[in-house]
Amino acid sequence: PAAPAPAPAPAPAPAPLAGRGDRLDIFYTSKSWTPETPRNVFTPESILEMRHLEDRVRSHPGFNESCYQTRGGGGECAPFQSTADWFFDPGSGELTWDIGGTVLAMLEAGLVTRTDKYLSVRNLGSNYTRTTVYLREGVGSAFFEDLHRDLLWPADQNGEYGHVSFSWTANAEVARLEANEALIHDAGWAVGTVVVVGVLVFLKVRDPLVFLAAMSGLILAFPASYYWYYVHFQITELKVIQASALFVMLGIGADDVFLMVDAYDHAAVHLGPEATPAERMDHAYRRAGGTMLVTTVTAAVCFYSNAFSVVLIVREFGLFMGTVVLLNYAHVVTILPSAMLVSDIHLKPLWRRMKRRFCPGCYADGCCAGKGLEEEAGGEEVVKDIDSVGSIADSRADVARMSQTYRCVSISESLSSYPESSAEEDRVEQVIADPQAREVPIGGPDYASDKEDGDGVDAEAEVLPGYVVPTRGSTSSSGSSDDFSDNNDARGHANQRGQ
């Protein structure tokens, strides 16, 4: 007899389904909702946008491989725990227009945990609602990180939905990723702030080395403060709010830079042109250092007072900001003055020597650059004695023009042998750059010791080679002493003839 047919093999047992893993919660509110003006989120427009966003989550790459599956689901992803699904017909997928009846059915089903506490039979509305998405246990959170970076964050930042606002929470990795995105966003604005402050600082100092030192001191205050924050205060995590220290630091630091530069520049006026860079810096320290110290201490005390707060993040912010303010002051009174002295003692004289060597005619700003001496002199030979200018001038304007030309020539010719020291170079540079400096002559404040009755200037005062400083009563080559007699007083007469 034939052998009996083998019994059919038993069907394989279904593979056990994994448990629930990480979860993502999406919160929805009406676009016009505020704490003062509550708005119902269950409107047709808002519900359609909620459904559209959740469909995009379902269709995102990698969702089917990571989603949570219920037992008996046939390998399909479990539905979201969402209130939006209640408002659509299961067969046609069309939105139901009985919004109130659907909300009442949700209330009877006990979905009060996905709405606010005010939902009731008398108030069929809610200020917010929540959707929960689960992943399978053991798949990790890589899908949520991709979802945050590729869908949720761009949709939120670009305002892609006009009737509903949404936010989301997930595991620690997604929260850290969201914090990093916010930090990068704020850092972009901080870069723009640094550029604007840098431009203003450069327009003020007009010196590349001083500018680099000033900006370096401002920026270095941030990482230096983080060292103290991390090593000495034992706070190992830098939160997003600490990023605002960059904006505060730029504002306070720029003020200190302006104070120090102004005090150094004004020292030449208070101490006179004979003052050395070291004397000017000493004066600047006395004038600006105390002011900056007072403002720095008061600001630091205000920030450090937050260390007594019971709120942890406020306490950490106060410690960090107080340290930033103190270190910024330390940089302004060390790095910046060093660069200013190096520039004045070494770089500026070097630059002037290079200009004299490679472009002698360009050294005197605005008087000789690009113009021939014969053109400035109106075709006449430039006269080396200032009194002879009046003999070839037809008007007061010609006298001023010829005096300017003579000043250029005399200075350019004398630069090869004069001055011998950097202090004298600074005096020459002052004369060239500012004709009004004749009010405080080259010889120092005592040079202007002429008497009120107009007896002229001190004949013993030091002058630049080639300059002739006439006294009252001196005559020009034409033999007339009345060429400049229109001046109201003898001091103005001497100053104009000296120029």
Q: pTM of the entire structure?
A: 0.50
Q: Give pLDDT, residue 334.
A: 92
Three-class secondary structure of residue 382 per DSSP: coil
What is the number of other CB atoms lying within 10 angstroms of the CB of residue 370? Answer: 6
Q: Give pLDDT, residue 76.
A: 78
Q: Give pLDDT, residue 428.
A: 53
Which CATH homologous superfamily contains domain 187-356?
Multidrug efflux transporter AcrB transmembrane domain (1.20.1640.10)
Three-class secondary structure of residue 169 per DSSP: strand
Residues of the chain with pLDDT under 50: 9-15, 364-421, 437-499
Q: Give pLDDT, residue 74.
A: 60
Q: What are phi and psi of 339, to 5 degrees?
A: -65, -35
CATH 1.20.1640.10, the chain: domain bounds: 187-356
Cis peptide before 419 (omega within 30 of 0): yes
Which is it for the CA torsion 469, 474, 476, 477, positive or negative? Answer: negative
Strand 164-169, strand 128-136: pairing: unpaired
- pLDDT tens-digit map of 349-397: 898 888 888 876 665 444 444 444 434 444 444 444 444 444 434 444 4
What is the number of other CB atoms lying within 10 angstroms of the CB of residue 276? Answer: 15
Q: Give pLDDT, residue 430.
A: 58
Q: How many Å separate Cα 173 from the centre of its chain? A: 31
Q: Give pLDDT, residue 351.
A: 87
Q: Give pLDDT, residue 408.
A: 47
What is the number of other CB atoms lying within 10 angstroms of the CB of residue 386? Answer: 23
Strand 20-30, strand 164-169: pairing: antiparallel
Beta-bridge partners for 128: 29
Q: Are 225 and 324 in contact (CB under 8 A)?
A: yes
Q: Give pLDDT, residue 2.
A: 57
What is the spatial distance between Cα 380 and Cα 333, in angstroms, rounded to a whole number? 54
Long-range contacts of 445-448 (CB under 8 A, 24+ apart): 445/272
